[in-house]
A and B are shown apart, each in its own frame.
Chain A
């Protein structure tokens, strides 16, 4: 039987990947972020997951607005890296897990969630920014990516993401093979990339969100998209994807680790929860 051994919430800002590639981990402005990932990585080394199920959003690198899916699932044996406009980073393609991914597809559709099924799915910083901080880049742990539209409105509600998490948990519980799975919710935290409030972040709301993700996810799921954007910025609405991770974990969780730092224009959050 497969089961969820825990969840990780993490920001996926592209700046994390750039700083990583440049070897800036020890620089004073970056050290609070990178050192924050060390306990998360130690936890992963201890619990030895077989699979990462990563809820993220594509930033118009795999999908374009000719056909933009609300939910999309990567079922391929490998996931290539997208060229986001600056050329590719020196990282190998990621391994997938088609057998589990097809099970997930069948289970989600039976559970009334209907992802676009992608046999090829190029991944961008939504997955690749933070992953080298948590695992060796020979990618020994396969990844099943689940993309969510959070950029072309209308986008799904926070409640829908929380319920999606429940469906992910049921899909994992019904997979017949032994599999230790960590579910990721990524994006955010607060940031605004354009307009008169460009560069604003909201550390108070970020920390309230991290608190309530543990203790009151149902309450967070009742907030509207408008409220998420007003508190956390139009792009900060990515935070709703953390609710899918939380929803997959069930009622009670134990916090393993939490980190927050905001040296630039984005609140960088990290949360590790155990079931």
Chain B
């Protein structure tokens, strides 16, 4: 289940099944109407889409690492990021256990 390669979570079918509701919700953000409804009230939108309390909390906390651990696909997390204005570098750095500033500082060396 927690197959890790190159320090990353391999998106296996087991992970895909575990994160299905969260991923399905994120996939719905491919439409402008749904992004607008999500932005109005994230928790209500997610509940209506069948997400669990745990999944709603992960998004509320912008806990990108936690989302990955619970089966989110990086490509669908990017759709959540697009809706809430968080770009890939910030998501990636968080999943590596760093802030974006820490990540950039480490890369500069």
Is the C-beta of A87 less than 8 angstroms from some C-beta in chain B?
yes
Q: Is A47 an interface residue (CB 8 A)?
A: no
Question: Cβ of B6 and Cβ of A65 under 8 Å apart?
Answer: no
Contact-residue bracket for chain B: 35 or more
Identify which of A61, A194, A197, A226 contacts B68 (C-beta below 8 A): A194
Return 13 A-B CB contacts under 8 Å, by A number.
A65-B24, A85-B30, A85-B83, A151-B75, A152-B73, A193-B92, A195-B6, A197-B96, A198-B95, A199-B103, A200-B6, A234-B9, A234-B10
* Nearest Cβ on chain B to A256's Cβ, whole angstroms: 33
B16 with A152: CB separation less than 8 A: yes
A194 to B78, alpha carbons, bound, how many Å? 11
Chain A contact surface mostly: loop
Residues of B within 8 A of A (CB): 4-13, 16, 20, 23-24, 27, 29-32, 35, 64, 68, 73-76, 78-79, 82-83, 88-89, 91-93, 95-97, 103, 107
Q: Which residue of A lies closest to B64 (CB)?
A: A194
Complex contact B92–A83 (CB within 8 A):
no
Q: Are the CB atoms of A85 and B8 closer together than 8 Å?
A: no
Which residue of the partner chain, among A82, A85, A194, contacts B29 with CB atoms under 8 Å?
A: A85
CB of A262 closer than 8 Å to a CB of B: no
Binding site for B on A (CB under 8 A): 59-61, 64-66, 82-87, 151-154, 192-200, 226, 229-230, 233-235, 265
Q: What B residues does A61 contact at CB under 8 A?
A: 30
Q: B97–A196 contact, CB under 8 A? A: yes
Please measure, in the bound complex, the distance between the C-alpha atom of A48 and the C-alpha atom of B79, giving whole angstroms. Answer: 38
How many Å lie between the Cα of A82 and that of B35 in the bound state? 15
Complex formed: what's the CA distance from A86 to B78 in Å? 10
B98: min CB distance to chain A, Å = 8
Of B13, B79, B89, the contact of A153 (CB 8 Å cutoff): B13
Closest to B29 in A: A85
Q: Would you call B9 and A194 a contact (CB within 8 A)?
A: yes
